[in-house]
A and B are shown apart, each in its own frame.
Chain A
Amino acid sequence: MIHSLFLINHTGDIFLEKHWKSVISRSVCDYFFEAKEKAGDPENVPPVLQTPHHYLITIYRGKLFLLSVIQTEVPPLFVIEFLHRVADTFQDYFGECSEGVIKDNVVTVYELLEEMLDNGFPLATESNVLKEMIKPPNILRSVVNTLTGSSNVGDTLPTGQLSNIPWRRAGVKYTNNEAYFDVIEEIDAILDKSGTTVFAEIQGVIEACVRLTGMPDLTLSFMNPRLLDDVSFHPCVRFKRWEAERVLSFIPPDGNFTLMTYHVSSQNLVAIPVYVKQSISFFESGSCGRLDITLGPKQTMGKMVEGLTVTIHMPKTVLSANLTATQGNYTYDLATKVLVWDIGKLNPQKLPNLKGSLSVQAGAPKPEENPSLNIGLKIQQLAISGLKVSRLDMYGEKYKPFKGVKYVTKAGKFQVRT
């Protein structure tokens, strides 16, 4: 199983190590540094590396590498999932997963790692179980602790650990009982030069925030569940009922959790909310090029498109951009060669346009590649797949909770080729 963990920042310093079996020397990371050197971008470091005696499995999150060392045949996905869970836990405990907060909370981090893995086997990875054993730091509590001498560590067995519903603790109490569900859909799409959809799919997720007293048993049903191609559920969801009736029946964890993720890939169901008319060209001689981009609404279902952005990774030889935007602002970062046009709301009456010239390094050959456009956007009150929650029922408790559902559509990896 998982032997050791090293936390490494993006400049390549190891700033924390934890060993669950015998101690493995830091020098094992040299193989990783070698691969990192070779890959250039930190994103491009291969996640599974082989060394003479170990395997290194790495994830890259928030400018940090979480590197685990394994010695025997262990499923790599298992390790990668676990590492993401570690990062999630840090996020959950400290608000972010960064070198700074990890260093500030190093003992808590160590306690968490000890609790999450025993001999390399995952022990407690559920957020609410961990929080019962190791209290997250907060300013008020540390003041109280100092005053009363009480501890951050719970000394009773976490109630959820062994019950059939390990995700929920017993004895939850609220004065205001509420359950909120956010249906968030991201459009992943590739459009070609002419605007034709090469590929499009929707990644959906239902994030829940449930603050309900006692042991509520919830049933969430959809108007049109059949449009979901593939679903994955939080362990609380009763799969049999989904199979038979297409409803989500579950005893929820307390607080925030991801109820389900889903996938819609049938092309006809994926509406593309905006169109892009663009031309980016470079001249054979004269060290310059032209750029002209216009965006307009396409299938917006009558909703407002907001937060519109266009991001372009320019070829390395592009030195500067001299452009005029009819709406919003643009910036061109010389170091990263990234052009960002922040448009804001899309006004169907007056389409935003960005136009002008690009100057290219003198004497450099005409760039070979065509830069792709990355579109960012947001549409409130719409799930672009058309998914709708029809009702939420609660059983097992007497009180009447407040129930809310919110929809939002965003651009995921939304790319336009030029």
Chain B
Amino acid sequence: NSEIFELKAELNSDKKEKKKEAVKKVIASMTVGKDVSALFPDVVNCMQTDNLELKKLVYLYLMNYAKSQPDMAIMAVNTFVKDCEDPNPLIRALAVRTMGCIRVDKITEYLCEPLRKCLKDEDPYVRKTAAVCVAKLHDINAQLVEDQGFLDTLKDLISDSNPMVVANAVAALSEIAESHPNSNLLDLNPQTINKLLTALNECTEWGQIFILDCLANYTPRDDRESQSICERVTPRLSHANSAVVLSAVKVLMKFMEMLPKDLDYYGTLLKKLAPPLVTLLSAEPELQYVALRNINLIVQRRPEILKHEMKVFFVKYNDPIYVKLEKLDIMIRLASQANIAQVLAELKEYATEVDVDFVRKAVRAIGRCAIKVEQSAERCVSTLLDLIQTKVNYVVQEAIVVIKDIFRKYPNKYESVIATLCENLDSLDEPEARAAMIWIVGEYAERIDNADELLESFLEGFHDESTQVQLQLLTGIVKLFLKKPTETQELVQQVLSLATQDSDNPDLRDRGYIYWRLLSTDPVAAKEVVLAEKPLISEETDLIEPTLLEELICHIGTLASVYHKPPSAFVEGSRGVQHKRLPGSAGSGESVDSPDTGSAAGVSEAPPAVIPSQGDLLGDLLNLDLTPPTTTGPPPPTSGMQMGAMDLLGGGLDSLVSLLYTVDSLGGDLGGNPAMAAGFGAPPAVMPTSFNAPVSGGLDDLFDLGGGVGMPMGSYSPPKTVWLPAMKAKGLEISGTFARRSGVIQMEMTLTNKAMSVMTDFAIQFNRNSFGLAPAGPLQVLTPLSPNQSIEVSLPLNTVGPVMKMEPLNNLQVAVKNNIDVFYFSCQYPISMLFVEDGKMERQVFLATWKDIPNDNESQFQIKDCHLSSDAASNKLQGSNIFTIAKRTVEGQDMLYQSIKLTNGIWVLAELRVQAGNPNYTVSIVRGLHFVTYREV
């Protein structure tokens, strides 16, 4: 404290020089984090000086401490205001700049007038400083900035004659716009674009970045405008500042989407993009890292740009690890038949490096090459075997994991190596490797003499294994049992009981029960399911899902591009972040995804399927994989009954599992509960996934509120239609509809006898259907039906019948019998019949669920010509068990957040947007999940 005291004395010295030195000492203490705020009044007293250096130092101090000493800071206001009128532009600019940095409300009030003047100052240096000051002020008090009209002045500065002023205005507007995503601050039109492009050539490198990033938000009107902007942006690719280069790449990558591919210029542009990207890789490692993350996106979108540049991604032994891993990733993406030999040689080299993470990734990469480039598979396998011979523990384990994938991709080709793999069984201590090995043993049980012993050896420590291994072991042993039933009954019994009775893991238990039931009810079906032909695995792994990729391409150079996540996923306060999309390609309806016509052989025509990350239960159950490569596209088509079974599994296992789990949680102790045993007898309901088309159709009906006048409150029920015409049923005509009353689904029919004779002995039966609808009792037609007589019948339904996916989903095949014959017809029930009364989700749960459901589960459609208010619509929908959980009003638009629960426990979440005065509503449906696990359906 004596130090503070001394400084105080020096600050109040008469000698200018001593004062200055004292202020310097104060600043020095401040910079290392010492608290010198006690000297505030003494330092502020030094402010009234014509010595610019001293003034600057005092300003530095003020900016740091004004917040903690607001009343003192007021003392400085007069000097600031005076300095804003100083003849020297440097001082005017300094004053307005510093005032903006003092984050004290009382000071900002005084700032407005000087700022207004400075924005129109004759000196561009002052104007450009003032432009940034608007952004500062906005950060402190947004309302003030809007009220004072500073935003408009800022917009005017985009047309300023000085390029530096333009650049700063753009930068300030961009920053302000980030906190107002829906504002139209940067209203880009061809005139402003032209001004920006002119300023681009003359402003500083930083200004160029701001301008390029701003340009990237513009969508050109046509391909000609797009080309002309590209032409003016390409020189930026030769800038020494890598951030300028990458921002230019962003603009070009986005705008070239609009160029016709047959255009010469398109090819020229592609060629121009490669060299600057390569050059970025010779920069400092931090720059390389960001560049590599972006190149990873670029090669996914346009592999042709860098297809000849494989070598620049070769790893140097002293690259930082974060650069090595990124390079490896890109090498695999660029691997093709043409360069695979080089790539493999490199990967083998890397597999002997020191860094464990890198070595692992290199080994994995060898497996990915085998899967991607068929011609190389054999070499890859032999390389992997060489690596296994090194006996380096983690190398062996990685090799086994990838060899499993190679088996999947090329069945019946490399199984001769199984013996070598089995030798290493004991050394495996990582779950993934153990799981892979178990998969191999189970899958090839018929070729491995001691498969039962091998699997049994894992069983001993079953409870200590990770879930991944437990699941694999369960499936592996079931496979073994199906292949060699005679010797392995005891083993399968053992694993089933371990999984179902001794485990707390619902996934494991559920899978155990499914197998158990399959095996006990229908071993043939079990075989068809468990040993079904596996879908092919995809060539590419870890590909970014195409719509996300498109969005990320629009964000090249940003944090989003480094994280490979949309900004909405991580930017704070991103509620309003708009998703960016690439513009469509010009003219031709050609898909932007299709690979370039001239691309190398080996690039498949179809867009590569994206690997689902986890939790694909079909894959899971068939035990395809828990790790990256899994299914691509739909399972191979099969026919007839098997089709049903496949589909059933394909779609609905998740909910099957969920349903079992529900019973479980209700019924308490599963194993010994007779109710559960009964549950085993009647197959539970299943909800298939292909929810999209048919359901939106069904919902469309439901939301068809337009003709709602006079419609009674309560569940929506369509008018009766003729299901079975008399001429097709020997005189029996059936028309009908469905309704939901007091929680019971009713099938309401009118039976009319148009024949000449009396009809008796009515009975009804349903075919298996998507939601397990079945008559809850017999068809009640008690009296014989005379000719020309009609009778109204109401048949209550339940949802515990057998399940089979129907096309469309809500199709119901019905057989009606009478004394004359059996007649068949099919009808479609509104999906809303299945909405249960307790479908109102807790708000909290709703919020959490809404966030958790992946975007691709979302579908949107419009309801046309609906003239209800949002409240009326909400009431009406509630009648059909569509519950409004929350309502929000944003800019005159009402957003209703709604939940629906289906009879089989699946939740559907929806957002209904109603714009006042617009009869068209927008509905976003998010397919939901069962409440227990919120798994993807």
Contacts and interface: CB of A to CB of B under 8 A. Distances in A.
Contact of B282 (A60, A71, A263): A263
Q: Counting chain B CB atoms within 10 Å of each CB, which of A60, A118, A229 scores highest?
A: A118
Interface of B: 16-17, 24, 27-28, 31-33, 51-54, 56-57, 60, 64, 67, 88-90, 97, 100-101, 103, 123-125, 129, 132-133, 135-136, 139, 162, 164, 168, 171-172, 175, 178, 202, 204-206, 209, 213, 235, 238-243, 245-247, 275-276, 278-279, 282, 284-287, 289-291, 311-312, 314, 316-318, 320-322, 342, 345-346, 349, 352-354, 390, 392, 557-560, 562-563, 567, 570-572
B17 A76 contact: no
Contacts of B60: 110-111, 114
Contacts of A81: 241-243, 287
Interface string A138-164: 000000001001011111110001101
A17 B282 contact: no
A126 B14 CA distance: 37
B33 A17 contact: yes
B84 to A, nearest CB: 16
Q: Counting chain B CB atoms within 10 Å of each CB, which of A59, A232, A240 scores highest?
A: A232
A265 B206 contact: no
Contact of A417 (B53, B289, B318, B349): B349
A164 B392 CA distance: 62
Nearest to B59: A114
B206 A78 contact: yes
B51 to A, nearest CB: 6
Contacts of B205: 125, 235
Contact of B559 (A20, A26, A55): A55
Given A118-B97, A162-B124, A368-B352, A374 B318 contact: yes
A155 B557 contact: no
B320 A75 contact: no
Interface string A212-229: 000000000000000001
A166 interface: yes
B527 to A, nearest CB: 45
A400 interface: no
Contact of A78 (B52, B124, B209): B209
A283 interface: no
Contacts of A106: 27-28, 31-32
Interface in A226-248: 229-235, 239-240, 242-243
B90 A157 contact: yes
A368 B390 contact: yes
B275 A152 contact: no
Q: Counting chain A CB atoms within 10 Å of each CB, which of B54, B342, B559 scores highest?
A: B559
Contacts of B571: 72-73
A263 B290 contact: no
Contacts of B560: 73
Interface string A23-60: 10010000000000001010110111010010101111
A57 B558 CA distance: 12
Interface stretch (A174-182, A195-203, A351-359, A403-411): A195-203
Contacts of A50: 563, 570
State the main secondary structure of chain A at its contact with B.
mixed
A154 B90 CA distance: 10
A121 B167 CA distance: 11
Contacts of A274: none
The 5 lowest CB-CB distance pairs between A and B, nearest first, are: A230-B275, A153-B53, A47-B286, A77-B243, A122-B206
B88 A234 contact: no
Interface of A: 1, 14-23, 26, 39, 41, 43-44, 46-48, 50, 53, 55, 57-60, 71-78, 80-82, 84, 106-107, 109-111, 114, 118-119, 121-122, 125-126, 146, 149, 151-157, 161-162, 164, 166, 188, 190, 192, 198-199, 201, 203, 229-235, 239-240, 242-243, 258, 260-261, 263, 265, 313, 315, 368-370, 372, 374, 413, 415, 417
State the main secondary structure of chain B at its contact with A.
helix
A71 B316 contact: no
A74 B243 CA distance: 11
Given A18-B31, A151-B52, A230-B279, A156 B90 contact: yes
A73 B316 CA distance: 31
Contacts of B67: 22-23
Contacts of A15: 32
Given A106-B31, A233-B240, A374-B318, 10 more contacts: A1-B175, A17-B31, A43-B285, A78-B206, A81-B243, A107-B57, A111-B57, A157-B89, A230-B276, A243-B235
Nearest to A311: B318
A118 B278 contact: no
B755 to A, nearest CB: 75
Q: Counting chain B CB atoms within 10 Å of each CB, which of A109, A126, A153 scores highest?
A: A153
B28 A234 contact: no
A242 B89 CA distance: 37
B775 to A, nearest CB: 56
B289 A59 contact: no
Nearest to A133: B90
Q: Counting chain B CB atoms within 10 Å of each CB, which of A55, A119, A239, A370 scores highest?
A: A119
A47 B246 contact: no
Contacts of B291: 77
Contacts of B390: 368
Contacts of A260: 240
Contact of B56 (A114, A146, A203): A114
A269 B801 CA distance: 76
A24 to B, nearest CB: 12
Q: Counting chain A CB atoms within 10 Å of each CB, which of B133, B238, B311 scores highest?
A: B238
B54 to A, nearest CB: 8
Nearest to A21: B139
Contacts of A46: 289, 322
Contacts of B312: 199, 201, 265
Contact of A75 (B54, B88, B247): B247
A14 B278 CA distance: 35
Contacts of A190: 314, 316
Contacts of A43: 285, 320
B316 A415 contact: yes
B33 A199 contact: no
A60 to B, nearest CB: 8
Nearest to B68: A23
A161 B279 CA distance: 29
A104 B132 CA distance: 32
A161 B572 contact: no
Nearest to B17: A149
A409 to B, nearest CB: 16
Contacts of A261: 240, 279
Contact of B202 (A1, A111, A164): A164
B614 to A, nearest CB: 22
A3 to B, nearest CB: 11
A239 B237 CA distance: 11
B287 A80 contact: yes
13 contacts: A15-B32, A17-B33, A73-B558, A75-B558, A81-B243, A118-B97, A125-B205, A125-B206, A146-B17, A155-B88, A199-B312, A201-B282, A240-B235
Contact of A121 (B53, B125, B168, B570): B168
Q: Counting chain B CB atoms within 10 Å of each CB, which of A55, A76, A122 scores highest?
A: A76
B317 A372 contact: yes
A77 B89 contact: no
Contact of B239 (A19, A75, A162, A232): A232
Contacts of A201: 282, 312
B519 to A, nearest CB: 46
A22 B104 CA distance: 11
Contacts of B318: 313, 374, 413, 415
Nearest to A52: B572
A193 to B, nearest CB: 9
Nearest to B235: A239
B559 A71 contact: no
Given A77-B557, A80-B286, A122-B206, A232 B314 contact: no
